[in-house]
Amino acid sequence: MLHYAPLLLALLGCWGDSAYIVEGTVVAVDGDTVTVDHEEIAGFMQAMTMPFEVRDEVELVPGDRIVARLMVEDQGSYLARVRVTGKGAVPERLKGPAPVRPTEVLPPVDVTTPQGTLKLGLGQKAPTALTFAYTTCPMPEFCPAVVARLQALQPALPEGSRIVVVTLDPEGDSLDVLDAYGKQVGADPTRWQWGRVDADTLQTLAMHAGLSVRKADGEILHSLRMLVLDGEGRLIERYDDTYWSLDRVVEQLATGGPPAPPNTSGTISAPPK
């Protein structure tokens, strides 16, 4: 069975198996995916509402108060040892924006690039591969791997589609820095643009994207995310790694499909053999 990680692949400094305690209230159940309005995960993530994969044989319904272990592994993350501790009302207000699911439209956001301002989400008008990185990322498995995949995608982009990379370091990545870095990695600004938003907007956009990002001891800790959006800003599929199929992404940008597998919020791709 394929496993679809709902939260993240890994964080810098968290390679290998790691476990965190999650406490919260079930908001929705969709097959093996459970959306939880959770408290702060100590040392890992702020309080928010996120979908998680559950691998336990446990019956959950909205309103269940649960405690579980969030298992973070090299190939994905999931909840284990899920225990219902009480019952309550389904939260009426979620903690922060919920991640966009396939067929939903990303809320609009303006991104400033060296070439001007572009719109993402509702009203964007161009099929888009949206991802996140920053120019000084030191880990080859993260931003440099993302850039390498985008370098392969750029020449195959269908007419009228684009790549957009939003920096995770708006303090350090000025427009001049992004312009120079884009040229360094061969980004054609008519097809592949690097941009920035302010810190508050970045947090909101990251939560809509299901992206985990935070600062610790001066380092930016983040997961991997790429959203493939159609011309109206609707999510076709979310990829949670850098192993996605080039042909599949190109087809999605050209035609709006194939859609994400049923009952998934993100996709873990099979590593190349």
* Token pair belonging to 225: 């995310």
CA torsion sign for 83, 88, 93, 95 is negative
Calculate the average pLDDT of the chain. 85
84 has a pLDDT exceeding 90: yes
pTM (two decimals)? 0.71
Q: Are residues 75 and 120 in the same domain?
A: no
Q: Are residues 83 and 115 in the same domain?
A: no
Domain count, the chain: 2
42 lies in the same domain as 72: yes
Are 216 and 124 members of one domain?
yes
Indicate whether 265 belongs to any domain: no
| 141 and 241 assigned to the same domain | yes
Residue 92 pLDDT class (50, 70, 90 cuts): low
Q: Which two tokens stand for residue 22?
A: 């999650």
The 8-class DSSP code of residue 100 comes to P
Q: Under a CB-based contact definition with an 8 Å cutoff, are residues 84 and 60 in contact?
A: yes
Contact 220, 169 (CB under 8 A): yes
Whether 238 is in a domain gets the answer yes
Query: Domain check: are 50 and 82 in the same one?
Result: yes
Name 69's bridge partners: 21, 80
Same domain for 32 and 146, yes or no, is no
User: What pLDDT, in 10s, does the model give residues 128-151?
Assistant: 999 999 999 888 888 999 999 999
Q: How far apart are the first and last CA of the chain?
A: 18
CATH number at residue 151: 3.40.30.10
Task: Please give the C-alpha separations between residue 207 and each of 145, 187, 196, 204, in angstroms, as whole numbers.
Answer: 22, 26, 16, 5
Inside any domain, residue 268 = no
Beta strand pairing call for 192-195 and 162-167: parallel
Residues 132 and 231 reside in one and the same domain: yes
For residue 45, what is the DSSP state? B
Range of the domain at 226: 109-255
- The backbone torsions φ and ψ at residue 143, rounded to the nearest 5 degrees and listed phi first, read -55, -45
Do 129 and 60 lie in one domain? The reply is: no
Residues 247, 114 share a domain:
yes
Residue 99 lies in a domain: no
SS3 label, residue 51: strand
